[in-house]
Structure 1
Amino acid sequence: MMRARIPISLLTSACVASLAVPALAQGASTSDSLSAPLDAGADTGEAIVVTGSRIIANGNNSPTPLTVVSTEQLMEATPSNIPDALNKLPIFQGSSNQRTAGAPSANAAGNFLDLRGIGTQRGLVLFDGNRMAPSATSGGIDTNTIPQALIKRVDIVTGGASAVYGSDAVSGVINFIVDDSFEGLKASGQYGISSRGDNASQRLGLVGGTYLMDGRAHIEASYEYYNSDGIGRISDRPYGVSGRGYSGTGTAASPNRFYDDMRRSDWTPHGAILSGIFADTVFNPDGSLRPFNHGAPTGSANLESGGDGGRVPANSLIGSLETHQAFGRFDFDLTDDTRFFVQGSYTRARNINNYWTSWANSVQIGSDNAFLRPEYRDALNAAGEESFTFTKMFYEAPPIITDAKTTTWFVNTGLKGELFGDLRWEATYSHSETQTFVTARNNENTGRLLAALDATTDANGNIVCRTSLTNPGLYPGCVPLNPFGYGSASSEAIDYITGDTSFKLTNAMDDFNASIAGTALELPAGPLQFAVSGEYRELSLENRSTDEPTEPLDCTGIRFGCSTNQLVWQFNTTASLPKMSQNVAEGAIEVNAPLLADLPLIRMLAVNGAYRYTHYSTSGSEHTWKIGVDWKVTDDLSLRGTRSRDIRAPTLYDLYAPLATSTSGFADIHTSTSGSVILRNSGNDTLTPEKADTLTAGAVYTPSWLPGLSLSLDYYRIKIKDAIVSLSGTSPEIQAQCQESGGTSPLCDLYVRPLPYSDTSAANYPSAVLSSPVNAATIRTEGVDFEGNYTTGLAGGQLSIRTFVAYQPKLVTQSFEGATPLDEASSPGTSVWRVTGMVGWNKGGFSLMAQTRWNSSQRPSSNPALVFETGRIPAVSYTDLTLGYTIEDSAVEPHFFLSAQNLFDKQPALFGGNIGYMYPIPSNYDAIGRYVTAGVSVKF
């Protein structure tokens, strides 16, 4: 049952517009309309096929659902970039972008598209039909690295396509199609800013192309620069200042509920003593002590409403993004039937986001610390306390910053042509290489922190680090750190305990492709078409790190709280990895057979089948297949359906990920002890490909009685088994299963303990908790997609209406057998119902585009076992409006536009995480508010 009301305006729009656009052909050209021609061959005369097949030349005859959106339409609705515009379509959810700023272990703020919400790594991204080297550890492609200035449209296959394209095409294919016949010179520029004066953006672009040698050759090139400043802190918006968030154990006795002014007691900016005679006190700015004001309890450890605790560290609300994108292409007709082409691109994308703050987490400080007031030193000495436990978040320090630079080179060349007038052949080679250079700026060095916290006086009465006297060569240049009270730490001391760490991850791919397609024979119902293809890929992965996580912490001369098991750096250093490689050999065949034609209720009935054999040097052989039916009942109505077996092979990073370490708070139920533990994450070279079974069934209706109207409806069901998931010992469910087994479960291997498992004393607290990818998860999703298009004349101009509707009532993930299934279909960031409606009108040089998006309400959590006192996160809608004007009689035809995203400045509903720091906006809610962009382009 639908659990939220769809606004009447959207339902009306959907009914008027029709509910779907039928599958569109790959060769569709852009136009002022919101739609594109259905039969590309009829429009261009070229022998081309739709994305999702190697032989079908008309999208209306494809059994696989396909959506085509022109770049013109995407950028008119969302001027920032093509991926941002795609993410407003309801078939995408869960994508990562500038909103998903994160830790310096990866390019967290890259633009990674997610079809259906089942993972960015399970949708295959193609650039003009070609694979690219991964730009993320997941194997995903950061679409910021795809040059966009000469992209004419994006084809989106919303069904399994591994039999045609190979691994990763589980949820579908996203194909960025190049305009390979651009002619002229076009320059453009734009500027945008939010209504609150932040997140300024600029775009500059230049595109040129011309025909040579009497039309036998064509050359084109483009360059585009884009910059978005981002929004530096969550607190730059009112909902980030309020401190409102969830807390509780999620049980009936202690349900999760909203609390105001949420704080964490272990994040205090004042500095708190946790043990001994001064336990539960905090420091004033002058170094004096006062009782810790704990505020109101909230039902969760360390979480309090009000008091002396700390708020969220300096996380960015929106990460910054800067891209440079260059592209060039040359075509040449060697003969009337053979064409040579070469194209290449260079892109550089940089994302920066604030992530965390330096933290002294439950460290030991000597009772004779020179920064302590004498009366406190005397009292501790009298009590016989040599040290005390201390915690503080250094809000006066600069934030720890994730700075990710991704550089991509791509070259693709080949020959294609025709034989005997009917056979199409192609042979291509491509090389791509992606380097992701991630730096953790202002990372905290544990050894320097502990050395700086052990402050004493020298012979002249100057406060110095004790190691400067006892071991002067161990931590040279040590600056003593005063942690007692907010603002007490000097900038020199903060500079000493922090530094930059980085790693460079390099993915490379060489890809050889060859195919031949055409008509095998004529059947009574039409031509039997076939395609045979082969592919060979070589992939490599290499990582170079400036700081190895296996390097032991040198505790020489440090008196308190130092252990060689501790991390040298607070956050996410990654081990170096020598070049690892993989080769993939594939062979595939596809057949499209018309069985019946020109019969009552059977205008045409065709069966499409595909089979692919793949051999991985790392995990053996796999078989994928697809069978599809296209039944044209009448000239107006078609029915279609597919059944397929699809795969996602483990990436080289899944298999051979270098050791990565970090620290985290951990409550160990085995020893009933809480503390800080080292987390170790690495790859697993025994992984095998994920396997998915996909079913689609749908209908396309293009009524002859109302030209310009088309409707389609498609049902899909995807079941993935042996899905690769990273299991971490920090999971409470994994802890519980290990405990229930008495230490015999394989899950117990995720805990490294100094003593036998039978020992439950605090001394057996884990020295490390492990995380590793395994083939253990299952994912199930199903739903219905609607798309719609209607074009007609209105008031002397052209009116175009397009509507996308997605209904996804099931998205269930179970991480391992026995784990609680998580229903993510209506969890924060996902909605069961998602609607996007577009209305465009143009007359002469004037154009108007209005886009409305609506997402149904969401549950506070995907875990059905958790109890919440508050209701659902409310439904939300956003409206975007763009006005354009072209001076048509001018030689350069200048085009001006003014666009407002989130026109009515709709603010998101509050949503709180139950881990103490608030990121109060589900990912499919707007975080910026009203955003205005103005621009101009000229064409020569």
Structure 2
Amino acid sequence: MRNTKLSTAEQLKLLFATTTSVAALGLTSAYAQDADEPIQIAQQAEEIDEGDTITVTGSRIRRSEVETTNPVFTFDSQSFEDRGFANVADALNQSPLFGTPVDPNGDVGSFTAGQNQVNLFDLGVQRTLTLVNGRRLVSSASGTIGGGQVDLNTIPAALIERIETVPLTGAAIYGADAIAGTVNVILKDDFEGFDVTGQYGSNFGGEADSYRIATVAGGNFADDRGNVTLALEYNRDEGVLLCQIRELCTEDLTLDNAISNANIDTNGDGVFDLTGQSLRLGIFDQRLALFDAFGSVSPVAGTPIPGQPRPATGSFLPGAGPLFGALPDGNFYRFTEGGELAECTPGALAVRSIITEGGDPETCGADFFNAVTQIRSPVERFNAFGSLRYDLTDNIRFRQDFLYANTTGSELVEQGGFQTGFFDGTSAAIQLSADNPFLTDQARGVLDANGLDTFLIHRFNNDLVRQGENSNETHVWRVTNVIEGEFEYGGRMFYWDVSNVFGRADITQQNFAGGIVDGRFLNAVDAREITPDLLDPILGVLQDERQALIDANTADPDPDFVTPAVPTSDDALLRLIDDSGGNLAGVGFGDIICGAFVDLSAGTLEGFNTRPSGSGLVDEDLPFLDGCQPLSLIGSTASDEAIDFILGGGPRFTNSQNEQVVWQANFGGDLIDLPGGMASFNVGLESRREFSTFTPGAALTTPISRSSVSQGVRGEAITREVYGELSVPIVSADMNIPFVQELSFDGAVRYQEFDTKGPDGLGGTTDTTVYQASGRWTPVDDISFRATYATSFRNPTFVDLFLPATQTFILGADPCDSRSVGLGPNPAVRQANCESIGIDTETFTSSIQDGTISNGQVSGNPGLQPEESVAFSVGAVIQPRWIDGFQMAVDYYNVEIDEFINDVDFEILAATCFDSNNFPNEEACSTFRRDPDTNQVIFASSQPANVAVSTFESITIRAFYGFDVNDALGLVGVAPGRDWGRLNFDSFTQHNITNEFQATPESEVTEDVGDFGDPKWIGTFDTVYSMDKFRATWRMRWQNPVKIDPLDQIVYAADFEEVTIDGVAGFRADAVNKTGARFIHDLSVAYDVLDNVTLQANLLNAFDREPNRLQDAVGHIGIDEQLGRRFILRANVSF
């Protein structure tokens, strides 16, 4: 791991923040729910002693009970332990409330590798506000991403008391980013004793090991006026590649690009049931016919352009196009790892595709996609947390806590580029000579037998970037200082607090993928063996120099002139060494060198070494030749020295730093005694300074490699806020009003002034005011109703505001592509607009849809305004007196986000352009350009804008029923004879109604509800049995069958055949747009073997659910199916 050190000034600042006495949000002590008691759906804890007050998430007002006007979902420490969770995110991501997160599972980028960010209601991780003990935590999001989202790896799991989630509210109480809601992680307070937990888990194939050890120690001092608590925790999860699990890698199904206007016989009755339908077909064990991991060969046609050879004219397969050809003997060949040429057998060509179906180790090509897919990133993290509490007087308290977290996550594999006839430029197939010194005698013999002096090599270059591994390491520091107190005045209680929070995150990314420096690569590929023939150009120079001396003496004779000796190949070798600037010291005949050194010595150097395209570098220092090491593309025989050279000396590094300083003061207490009870209030001030920088390494700021160029980003924001909150009880039970047992209202308001500063004088000031109003009505003891109305906001990130115009790769669906022209809100308009510029929409294939273009541009938008939302919820809590132990809560949620900040990219802009009746005068049409001859996209630009609108609706249903087993036995007349424990059932169901998104006012409205990430119905059902020292839990996680395409524009078929019915071509296929329901079962069993020792075993995905082929192909699977059945073994010792 890389160490990140603070400068002396920064250490002093951190020390000052640690020792300064400043304040908190108020007392955060609250109830600790007993593991065997009912889950308090209505947020009613067990009875609270008179005079005690607590603070609940969603309000700063202290209350004598915790039933609030807002729904609050609580996950306690016992449930956390039952399920063997090692991370806050693991617990939240199993809740139906949370959508697709940023986590270590699946393919990730270097900027998020290993991080855990939750996504409440699937509205985006940047719209979920995360607090620790009611206070903000500095974000460790990379400077290229921005935002206030928190990496939950930072929070020590060993200290979790409970996690509270308040949907769609929190902005009026806590400030920006709570559009989706607020998550508050409450840590254990005043811990006494010593606790250590060790945990190990894996799957039954042994590919997914995880380790955890955590300790907590604490004690009181000064006659219990003070307490010190310390927690240390270490976690490590091993990474897993897709191809480590054979059935996922070699027995998988992939879907080809959609075929427009397909005719489909769905039941085999000889009639096309579907006509004009977009269809995606399954490809079993896919292979890309273009290249292989160790290189495939094809003949060269015509004279290739230097550095950009043309693809072979022969087809790999009939109809596949000029991509990869057989040699003249009619056979297809690929290199083995050791560099031999071996015959391979072409697979069956997929319909209208360059992809073939494999199924045999001898099948040509490689499954490029599986080779660069991972299941889980390796993550290693260390957490340290310390807290101090000291009562200065009977009513004034000082608190301080310190948090440090170090997390390292990696992306095990990433696309490292390729050489193939499918692309051009530096990604094109490379032409090599049959005299290439790295060819084995066997391979050269095959080429000779086919009469080839040159050939093209098509290959997957991941071995040249060391599999493209990327890593992300973060260091997070946070110091909180609080002074809080309370006093009585005029018979009323008041409380106050002042707090300071200092947080800093340092993030370092290391990147190999895309790091090939093109100029170095082309020089290194031009490998030549030193022979007399190779040195002939240099020998010619020496001969010319000799002749020039002779001619000069003839013109002006010198009596002492000695005729120079005739130069030899040895002399040419010495000249080569001298001219290399020390690069070729000690080489001799038979050694392999970069051929450009010969060109340099012979004076014929040209191409990349004179002026690299776009880099501004000139030939003075020969930036792409100095240190050149010859590179072998044959098999996997490249030397480490050559790989280091083409990568520019190693990986690329970028650094980000986020800093946050928060000052806050609160004052609250009793206001006025009303008939329904005491009205309470809280008012406060908050000042927040946030600073962020992103600094890419020098190698990433120059366009000399195959990765897109990065530009630095920096920004500073000063936020000044004032807020107030009021709680008014109108009616209480002792007033004896019929059908009004209780009636209360809460209200809150917050004003923000947001001042931003960026480079070059960019920046500005915005102000925002948000409100929250809620109420609760209890007509009878058995039921209560609640409702909330809230406005929220999210400030734009520094990346959104200040990203400089940056070159990047662009890809996306082209609306004029034959596979996309039939989509959109009005396909007829789209088709007509495409055809008006000369595009044949029946045959046109857009390269930007199949790959990427490098001539793209992204930039920030300093004119962005904060996002704003309006949300409301209504619900009921049912606790019938005649069903002891039963509780149920039903809530409806609705939110609309306006001024939604959206990255308006090529796909959105192109669709907006061609779907418009104002084509080609639609503004979006000016953001990209097409080649006038080919109609291929050659330039595209994008930037964020406040143009999108998002709407979300859902219903949550929470039900709990618990009872003592002895009571149940008594009901059926059985005398238990002993205590048989307690049995609890807990059901949590969410029904998603809509999650609509409109990217621009002219864009089509898309609906996400109904797909795998946003199913219509999703839930958990928990069964918990506890008796004395024994405890067992069973959780079922489920979701309903979901659509693959929520818009119902495409159908899918895993198995099919091409048919012709009544002269019309089509397919016989069981075409569907829905996959089956998903059920995952988890079991845990724990037993207290001693009073202070607990052993626990967990079985995850107990029934080893496996998806069908279509679910696998469309990605309707999770980490549970990919890793299979898993286990956790856990031991806890406490004193």
Q: What range is the shorter-chain TM-score in?
A: 0.7 to 0.9
Q: Are residue 392 (structure 1) and residue 442 (structure 2) matched?
A: no
TM-score of the two chains, using structure 1 as the length reference:
0.87
Cα distance in 2 for partners of 1:124, 1:587 equals 18
Report if the CA contact (8 A) 2:1044-2:1114 is conserved.
no
Q: Which runs of structure 2 are paired with 1:328-477 in the superposition (5 Å)?
A: 328-361=386-419, 362=423, 363-364=427-428, 365-366=430-431, 370-371=435-436, 391-394=458-461, 396-397=463-464, 398-420=466-488, 422-441=493-512, 443-447=514-518, 448-458=520-530, 459=535, 460=589, 462-471=591-600, 473=622, 474-477=624-627
Report if the CA contact (8 A) 2:233-2:382 is conserved.
yes
Cα distance in 2 for partners of 1:210, 1:159 equals 38
Cα drift, residue 156 of structure 1: 0.7
Q: Are residue 843 (structure 1) and residue 1027 (structure 2) matched?
A: yes
Cα distance in 2 for partners of 1:588, 1:155 equals 22
Cα drift, residue 731 of structure 1: 5.1
Report if the CA contact (8 A) 2:748-2:773 is conserved.
yes
Shift in alpha-carbon separation, 1:333–1:126, aligned structure 2, 3 A: same
Shift in alpha-carbon separation, 1:164–1:926, aligned structure 2, 3 A: farther
Aligned match for 1:575, one of 700, 703, 711: 711
Aligned match for 2:785, one of 624, 635, 639: 639
Cα drift, residue 573 of structure 1: 5.5
Shift in alpha-carbon separation, 1:708–1:877, aligned structure 2, 3 A: same
Cα distance in 1 for partners of 2:35, 2:728 equals 36
Q: Which runs of structure 2 are paired with 1:458-857 in the superposition (5 Å)?
A: 458=530, 459=535, 460=589, 462-471=591-600, 473=622, 474-483=624-633, 486-487=635-636, 489=638, 492-498=641-647, 499-553=650-704, 568=705, 570-571=706-707, 574-577=710-713, 579-597=714-732, 598=735, 599-618=737-756, 619-657=765-803, 662-663=808-809, 674=847, 676-678=852-854, 679-730=856-907, 733-734=910-911, 736-737=913-914, 744-751=921-928, 760-762=932-934, 766=938, 768-795=939-966, 796=979, 797-857=981-1041
Shift in alpha-carbon separation, 1:212–1:453, aligned structure 2, 3 A: same
Cα distance in 2 for partners of 1:60, 1:341 equals 23
Shift in alpha-carbon separation, 1:666–1:933, aligned structure 2, 3 A: closer
Report if the CA contact (8 A) 1:243-1:263 is conserved.
no
Report if the CA contact (8 A) 1:360-1:390 is conserved.
no
How far does the alpha carbon of each residue in 1:36-74 deviate from its partner, in whole angstroms, 9 at most, with x for none? 564559447642221011226367642211111102212
Shift in alpha-carbon separation, 1:884–1:749, aligned structure 2, 3 A: same
Cα distance in 2 for partners of 1:880, 1:544 equals 44
Cα distance in 2 for partners of 1:391, 1:811 equals 44
Report if the CA contact (8 A) 2:868-2:898 is conserved.
yes
Cα drift, residue 506 of structure 1: 1.0
Counterpart in the other structure of 1:62? 68
Q: Out of 400-409 and 588-597, give the one that drifted further.
A: 588-597
Q: CA RMSD in A?
A: 3.1
Shift in alpha-carbon separation, 1:621–1:400, aligned structure 2, 3 A: same
How far does the alpha carbon of each residue in 1:111-152 deviate from its partner, in whole angstroms, 9 at most, with x for none? 111111111111111111111121222421110111221111
Cα drift, residue 284 of structure 1: 2.8
Letter of the structure 2 residue corresponding to residue 581 of structure 1: E
Cα distance in 2 for partners of 1:107, 1:134 equals 12
Cα distance in 2 for partners of 1:366, 1:380 equals 16
Report if the CA contact (8 A) 2:810-2:940 is conserved.
no
| Bigger fraction of residues in helix | 2
Cα drift, residue 863 of structure 1: 4.4
Cα distance in 2 for partners of 1:750, 1:677 equals 15
Counterpart in the other structure of 1:305? 357
Unmatched tracts of structure 2, length 5 or more:
1-27, 263-277, 299-309, 315-321, 326-331, 536-588, 602-621, 757-764, 817-836, 967-978, 1053-1070
| Bigger fraction of residues in strand | 1
How far does the alpha carbon of each residue in 1:183-215 deviate from its partner, in whole angstroms, 9 at most, with x for none? 111111111111111211111111011111111
Unmatched tracts of structure 1, length 5 or more:
1-24, 554-567
Q: Which runs of structure 2 are paired with 1:206-225 in the superposition (5 Å)?
A: 206-225=215-234
Counterpart in the other structure of 2:102? 96
Report if the CA contact (8 A) 2:431-2:456 is conserved.
no
Cα distance in 1 for partners of 2:344, 2:239 equals 40
Letter of the structure 1 residue corresponding to residue 403 of structure 2: S
Shift in alpha-carbon separation, 1:838–1:177, aligned structure 2, 3 A: same
Q: Classify the secondary structure of the residue corresponding to 2:1043.
A: coil
Shift in alpha-carbon separation, 1:378–1:691, aligned structure 2, 3 A: farther
Report if the CA contact (8 A) 2:953-2:993 is conserved.
yes
Cα distance in 2 for partners of 1:818, 1:799 equals 55
Counterpart in the other structure of 1:47? 53
Counterpart in the other structure of 1:230? 239
Shift in alpha-carbon separation, 1:805–1:224, aligned structure 2, 3 A: same
Counterpart in the other structure of 1:867? 1051
Letter of the structure 1 residue corresponding to residue 364 of structure 2: D
Cα drift, residue 370 of structure 1: 4.7
Letter of the structure 2 residue corresponding to residue 429 of structure 1: N
Report if the CA contact (8 A) 1:574-1:658 is conserved.
no
Cα distance in 2 for partners of 1:170, 1:26 equals 26
Letter of the structure 2 residue corresponding to residue 297 of structure 1: A
Cα drift, residue 490 of structure 1: 5.2
Q: Classify the secondary structure of the residue corresponding to 1:215.
A: coil
Report if the CA contact (8 A) 2:412-2:468 is conserved.
yes
Aligned pair count?
A: 880
Q: Out of 148-157 and 307-316, give the one that drifted further.
A: 307-316
Cα distance in 2 for partners of 1:764, 1:902 equals 48
Counterpart in the other structure of 2:334? 284
Cα drift, residue 736 of structure 1: 4.9
Cα distance in 2 for partners of 1:238, 1:332 equals 58
Q: Classify the secondary structure of the residue corresponding to 1:927.
A: helix
Cα distance in 1 for partners of 2:526, 2:774 equals 71
Aligned match for 1:271, one of 281, 289, 296: 296
Counterpart in the other structure of 1:564? none
Letter of the structure 2 residue corresponding to residue 470 of structure 1: D
Shift in alpha-carbon separation, 1:72–1:46, aligned structure 2, 3 A: same
Cα distance in 1 for partners of 2:694, 2:131 equals 24
Shift in alpha-carbon separation, 1:830–1:78, aligned structure 2, 3 A: farther
Counterpart in the other structure of 2:1128? 933
Q: Which runs of structure 2 are paired with 1:158-169 in the superposition (5 Å)?
A: 158-169=167-178
- Calculate percent identity across the aligned residue pairs: 23
Cα distance in 2 for partners of 1:864, 1:494 equals 48
Cα drift, residue 489 of structure 1: 4.7
Counterpart in the other structure of 2:91? 85
Cα drift, residue 275 of structure 1: 2.2
Cα distance in 1 for partners of 2:640, 2:664 equals 58
Shift in alpha-carbon separation, 1:275–1:727, aligned structure 2, 3 A: same
How far does the alpha carbon of each residue in 1:293-348 deviate from its partner, in whole angstroms, 9 at most, with x for none? 46323345x43434634312332111111110110110111111111101110001
Q: Classify the secondary structure of the residue corresponding to 1:574.
A: coil
Report if the CA contact (8 A) 1:522-1:528 is conserved.
yes
Shift in alpha-carbon separation, 1:689–1:926, aligned structure 2, 3 A: farther
Cα distance in 1 for partners of 2:899, 2:246 equals 42
Counterpart in the other structure of 1:258? 282
Shift in alpha-carbon separation, 1:550–1:444, aligned structure 2, 3 A: closer
Cα drift, residue 424 of structure 1: 1.7
